[in-house]
Every structure is written in C-alpha cells, then in structure tokens.
Structure 1
C-alpha cells in the first residue's frame, strides 16, 4: 500500500471513529497493558460476557441477535457518554496525536491482515497444490476441533487471544518465546 492511500484510510477511520475518540485513549492503554492489572481486566471482562452467554443458553441465531443488539447499544451510547463527560475544549494536541496513532495502527493491522489473505489466495494461482493442501488440512483440523470442543468455549479462547494479542506484541512476549524456542538445545537423533 502506498503512503498516500494509507493516509487516506487513516483520515476516513478518524472520521468514522470521531464519537469514540475519547474512549479510545484509555482503551489503548488497556490493550497495551500499561498497568499490570490490564490483562486480568481483559480476561475478566471477556469471561463475564461469555458467562452471561453460557447462562442464557440461547440457540445460535438468538445469540447472534443478542450480541448484535449489544454492539449496537454500545455503538450508540459511547459517543453520547463521551460527549457528556468530556468537553471539546479538553481535547489537546497530544490527545489528537495519540488518536491518530491509534487509527494508523488499526489501518496498518487491517492492511497487513488483508495482505496476508491476498498472499494466501495468490497461492491458488502460483501453487494450487500447496493452496489446497493448506486449505483442506486447516479446514479438517477446524472441523475436528469444533466437533470435539464446545463452540462457545472455542469462541471464548479466540476472543481472549485476539484481545490480549496487542499487549503480547507490545511487550514482546511472543518474540521472547520464539527466541527461547530457537535457543533451546537441539537433540540429535541417533540412528541405531
């Protein structure tokens, strides 16, 4: 992606999230684990939401409807609360810079994910055998996993990982684990 196109995407996202900008600043600190208790708060919040879903014991369509209603309610109420709590005069240049950094990182994450999907689907043209081997094996693993484990639990694990991932990347935990794996002593297999 060119920088001009990315800047245009950032401007569009800034306009789209205008009502959320006051709420995004504290959310950024939570997702990047600026306090030690932030990962616990993320896991506790997700656990509470999934506990409510589990206790309601709705069918799939009703669950999607309830989740959609909740998302719409939050999308409606957050801009109203943000305007009520914070006056426009309290918005500083530093806040605007942080808000733009948040939007820029969201656009970069979206573009990176989109690029990875395009790269994977380009395998269909470049190396169709590899594409179908990867696709079929991943779908078989997903089908086996979803038939073996409760789907709500799988969504819970996925949600926790997705919400903790920015903090994991920001703290360098994933890179540390990878370097520890590479530094592990290699065991030579002896043929007898």
Structure 2
C-alpha cells in the first residue's frame, strides 16, 4: 500500500512538473502533442496519406472527386429519406467500424517495413496540420469569448444579427440543400486554404476596399 501511494505521488509530481515545463516552453508542448498524436494515428497512417492528398488537392481532379462523393452521399440521403436519428446512428456505425477495422486491415495487408522516410515526413506533416487546425479553432473561440468580455454590446449585436441571418436562410433554403453546401464547404476548405485561394480572395477584396476608400477620400 505504501509503495502504491509513493508511486501515485511520484506520478502526480511528474505530471505537475511536465505541465509546468510545457507552459514555460510552448515548443515542448507542441512536440509532446505531436508525439502523442502520431502514436494515436499510427494505425491510420497508411489511410490518412491518400485522404490528406485528396483534401489538399495535390492532383487537379481531386476537387471533382470530393464533390462527387459528397453529392452521391446526399443523393442517397435524399432518396431513402432516413430520419435524423437514423442518419446519426448510421454515421456512428461507420465511424465505429472504421475505428476498429482500419488499423487491423492496415497491419494485416500493408507491410510496415516498406514505410519510407518520405512517407514518415508526410505523416508528420498531417499531424502538424491537425494540431494547427485545432489551435486555430481554439484561438478563434478564445477571441470570441474575449469579445464578449471586452465589448459586450458589439458581441450581442453581432451574435443577434448572425443568428437572425442564419434563421432567415434556414427558412428560405431547404435544410437538406443547406446541409449539402455546408458539408461541401467543410470538405473543400483544406484544399482552398492549401492552394492559397482563400488568402488570394481576401487579399483581392481588401485591395478593392482600399481602392474604394481611396477614391472616396480623393473626392472629399
């Protein structure tokens, strides 16, 4: 009993020191998170690489394939008209089966000894992209919460306007069609970001706004 208590105390102390070290050194936290994620996705790495290649549009025909897959899924949903509960249950079944079967199939049918250094670097790139997306989402949420604390009136008006617009769109546009466009946008987002299309679009709109403001200032 004493040994178990000492072991528990030692583990807790090591955990505290590890957290303190991570907070003092963000790079260490990123490396540790990277290592943990690589270990978790170790059974999926053969599958993630072609999926990641498709999502970032490494080939010019990948956007058409992704659009076709999403469209086919929603055509099947429209044709069979399953209930919301049935749809989420089927989605859960697919995720559960994939989580169990994919690592087993990869270890059984794919030779791990043929895994190259280039593929390992690609696996690290995928893990890094996942962590960065997670961090960006967390930062966006933190900024949203900070806006509520610093400028509550602006937060209230912004949220109210956004919700009213979303409610109006949901009332005008069919829910299935709206969900289709939403899922399609989520699937296309990594490719749009990786290819620089989003950044180019924002830069063009910012330049147009700058030109408009400049013309108005000249007139005044």
Do these two structures clear the TM 0.5 threshold for a shared fold by scoring above it?
yes
Which deviates further from its counterpart, 63-72 or 108-117? 63-72
Partners in 1 of 2:99 and 2:180 — Cα distance? 22
Is the Cα–Cα contact under 8 Å of residues 123 and 131 in structure 1 kept in the other structure? yes
Q: Secondary structure at the match of 1:34?
A: coil
Partners in 2 of 1:51 and 1:103 — Cα distance? 32
Partners in 2 of 1:140 and 1:44 — Cα distance? 32
Structure 1 residue 62 corresponds to structure 2 residue 62: no
Partners in 1 of 2:104 and 2:178 — Cα distance? 34
Structure 1 residue 11 corresponds to structure 2 residue 35: yes
Q: CA deviation at 1:40?
A: 0.5
| 1:1-192 superposed matches below 5 A | 2-184=26-208, 186=212
Partners in 2 of 1:43 and 1:85 — Cα distance? 29
- Cα gap change, 1:66 to 1:109, in 2 (>3 Å): same
Q: CA deviation at 1:160?
A: 1.1
Partners in 1 of 2:147 and 2:35 — Cα distance? 32
Partner residue of 2:11?
A: none
Higher helix share: 2
TM-score if structure 2 supplies the norm length? 0.79
Q: CA deviation at 1:127?
A: 1.0
Structure exhibiting the larger radius of gyration computed from Cα positions: 2
- Cα gap change, 1:136 to 1:173, in 2 (>3 Å): same
Q: Note the aligned Cα RMSD (angstroms).
A: 2.0
Which deviates further from its counterpart, 147-156 or 158-167? 147-156
The total of aligned residue pairs comes to 190
Partners in 1 of 2:127 and 2:60 — Cα distance? 24
Partners in 2 of 1:75 and 1:53 — Cα distance? 23
Q: CA deviation at 1:103?
A: 0.4
Q: CA deviation at 1:37?
A: 0.7
Q: CA deviation at 1:63?
A: 1.3
